[in-house]
Structure 1
Amino acid sequence: MATRDTTIETAPSSFKDRSTIGKTRVVTFTLALVTAALMTVAFLPELLATLVTGWTGAGGAELGIHRLHVMGIATVVAVFLLGLFAQAYKPTTRLASMWGAFATILVVSAGTVWYGVGRPEEVLPFMAITSIVLVAHPAGRSLLRRAGSYSPAMLALVAIAAVPLLAFAFNQWSLSTSATDPHALDGHYVMMAGLAIAPLAYGLVAALGFTGWRLAAWLAALPMAYYGLMSIAFTDQSGSSGVLWGALAIIWAVAFVTTAEYSRLEPSTLIRRNVTEMQGGSPRL
């Protein structure tokens, strides 16, 4: 019976066993995560709270025409932070989430700088910190390590989602050029484009089987499901894709997570294959 390769390269077991360079990497990595945590506490509690308060009547009244956008921004920020802070525990087993978080903040930062909107004073420091976490990551050169298998079914789902998500992202970017739209001036469209990219960033590394792909699969599905709910609930808000597309986003999220979880149990090559099969080699037994 075929079994999966579960070997994971881990960091040295003892801090004393590390070289000077290794110790420096660990200290830098830890300090970067702590700094990110402090920045989160300092800048983001009110924004993240809208993930809950935005659904209330009082919260909706306070946010007004920006309700869906602010909640969408909170969503992309939250999923980025989840991928980043997942590195605080057994980071060498959560490489997929690291790449998903890095790709998400990279897209948001690039859009913020390119269009000159939003809050670069908050976005760019997180970009810098995430870059430091990536460079100083305990996995080192093994950051591109894969768990030994990939999922054709999950790759197909990512490809299906890529068409509407990229179309949505490009549409949001095009709206960012307006000099009079308050949503554009506040950088909302740039962040909404980031919300469209996040599921693809996490979903792709999960489908390709990067180490820690299961968590990344969930982080790909969460923003899709949440955005789908918002689109259905707030059809009159800027940023909503309507009931149909909202429902399809939720269906995709459920399908992606279900496929990911099922692939851990089902040996079908349609659901999950050994990496050697994709490379033309013999599957491991």
Structure 2
Amino acid sequence: MIFAAITILSNTFHQDHGFWILNHVFVCMISQPTVSAVRHVTSRPTLATVTPPNLYSTRPNNLKLYSAQMSRRYDSRTTIFSPEGRLYQVEYAQEAIANAGTAIGILAKDGVVLACEKKVTSKLLDNDGSAEKLYHLNDQTMCAVAGMTADASILVNNARVTAQRYLKTYNEEIPCELLIKSLCDIKQGYTQHGGLRPFGVSFIYAGHDDRNEFQLFTSNPSGNYSGWKATAIGANNAAAQTLLKKDYKDEITLKEACELAIKVLSKTVDSSNLNSEKLEFATVSLGPQGVVRRIWADTDVNTLIKLTGVLEKPDEE
């Protein structure tokens, strides 16, 4: 009599313990020349020596796939920190600003200048002469924006309401930094709650109050703000910052600050023809009646370009 054992391996992989299970063992009693009987015997589960596939292999293809899956776990929500302590959605909002037009702010001893690049997307666009990147917040403060202008409009409206509430309550204009802080509180709140996205816009604020006189601030999508003597946001901001560090002086006048802004923009704006259609200018200064906020007309911008020696070049056909 000859006994033959035939082992059949189940296709079931034990997920909790990481091994394969042999479910059944068939034992056959074979006689020569014919098979006399076959008996089915159910045995206890036994461990197999089959090695399961390594789902987290460090091979290049699997590693890239694993890294991509891990990164998607943290960049889908603004409230989840990555293992490196980063908020990816806030960083993505800052990337949107880095692709926007350049904006420059320069603090002078007798005023503040704001200068912005206005990108013309089409010659068919009706340019009515109104500013696109410059806003009045109250009688003492202005701002320049870089990023999504639709997001900027919401924040500007909130700032205007806050300024008017303060004026109605205390019968005086709100201090510049307090107004900026209230706006940044809103921006920071949008990074703490699920279902919300950060505002994809950065601001440069220029203002004056009786206590701190002329001031220049910036804020980013995270809600952080800081004071500056000269700064730049938007595209090519690193190159603009380098030029400002080189040419800025502590005792600079408002006229010199305007000329410096034109020179910096002429070297950072991606255009062969620098004119009033591509630039916006605004200044905050003091006059006989108090603070003067002024958005420059196109003729004034063209005059300033000629005075600084930045010659217009014809558009390439």
Structure with the larger RCO, 1 or 2 (CA within 8 Å, 6+ apart) = 1
TM-score (norm: length of structure 1): 0.25
- The structure that is helix-richer by fraction is 1
Larger radius of gyration: 2
* Larger proportion of strand: 2
